[in-house]
Amino acid sequence: MSALTAGEVVNRIKAVMAVQGVAWNDATTRDRFKFGGPDTVVNGIATTFMGTFEAITHASGRGLNMIIPHEDTYWNDPDNTLIAEADPLVYQKKVAFMTGHNIVIFRIHDHMHRQRPDFTFSGTAREVGLDPSMETAPNSHRFVIPETTLGELAARVKKIRGDDAIRVVGDPNAKVSRIAVGAGMATPAVSSPDVDVVIGGEQREIEGTFDSPEYVMDAATLGVPKGWIIIGHNMSEESGMQEMAAWLRPIVPEVTVEHVRAGVVYWVP
């Protein structure tokens, strides 16, 4: 049996995506090889949220040399290595590790968000305890739960996720039941009249295009029941990389596919 190459893995991903209605867009700067290339022989595959040094090291330790991250590897979205090369502390160490361990990295972001379901959303909903039966329509990312308070809902989300750095805006006593789930950067509009709470990843604090914590703060002052539960970019998309690993397994039966966490980003004092 000939060895499985990274190029073959990517060709199969593109082919299955196409069958599932997601035509490959070659113009993307995101979904490309970020280290290594199509000729690298694949011993095992790790999906992860981000190409962190930690994720790469842990994957390699498990014998998985092809990394499929959802986000970037070089600390900027287009993965411009000129930006990373300016760093004298860790960039060369990371590259040396990847070279020494025959790592190949292929990012999957834009096309993953075009899949239905978008695993970043369905993974997050699963991870924060929102049952698909509560979704208003398939892939609506809107859930209706029995009425509770923002404080109780936030505590439940934190307990299920287990991560500390969850940030909440709004009156803890606000009565809420209609949830909009977001993933990654940019949150669904909390101002929508049919949304009480947004559970989302990351949003600019004051200069977003649409939303800011200020809207929720003012809603609290006015007694309008609204809430914002910001679980972090990592926490909002890492779960979906478990779904991505499950999606990949039947496509590449020759090798092991595992999900490896990119690491806990923040701790809190």
SS3 for 232?
coil
Task: Kindly state the smallest distance separating residue 22's Cβ from other proteins, in Å.
Answer: 23
The CB-of-8 to other proteins minimum distance in angstroms stands at 29
Q: State the minimum distance, in angstroms, from the CB of residue 149 to other proteins.
A: 11
Q: Who contacts 30 (Cβ-Cβ below 8 Å, separation ≥6)? A: 72, 77, 78, 79, 107, 109, 110
* Residue 3 DSSP label: P
CB of 178 to other proteins, least distance (A): 14
How is residue 181 written in tokens?
């789930």
Q: Which is nearer to other proteins, 16 or 217 (CB)?
A: 217
Spatial separation of the C-alpha atoms in residues 99 and 24, rounded to whole Å: 28
In this complex, which beta carbon is closest to other proteins, that of residue 210 or of residue 246? 210
Q: Which CB, 1 or 268, lies closer to other proteins?
A: 268
Of the candidates 144, 120, 136, which has an alpha carbon nearest to the alpha carbon of residue 200?
Answer: 120
Q: Which spans of this chain sit near other proteins (rule: CB under 8 A)?
A: 50, 52-54, 57, 71-72, 75-77, 83-84, 86-90, 93-94, 151, 154-155, 157-158, 164-169, 172, 185, 189, 191-193, 202, 204-219, 221-222, 224, 226, 230, 232-234, 263, 265-269
Task: Please measure the distance between the N-terminal and C-terminal CA atoms of the chain and give it in whole angstroms.
Answer: 54
d(CA 37, CA 32): 9
CB of 204 to other proteins, least distance (A): 7
- What amino acid occupies position 49? F
31 vs 257, beta carbon nearer other proteins? 31
Cα separation, 227 vs 184, in Å, equals 18
Cis check: omega of the bond before 69, within 30 degrees of 0:
no
Q: How far is the CB of 252 from other proteins (least distance, A)?
A: 26
By C-beta, is 133 or 194 nearer to other proteins?
194
Q: Which is nearer to other proteins, 250 or 267 (CB)?
A: 267
Instruction: Compute the distance between CA of residue 215 and CA of residue 223 in angstroms, rounded to an integer.
Output: 12
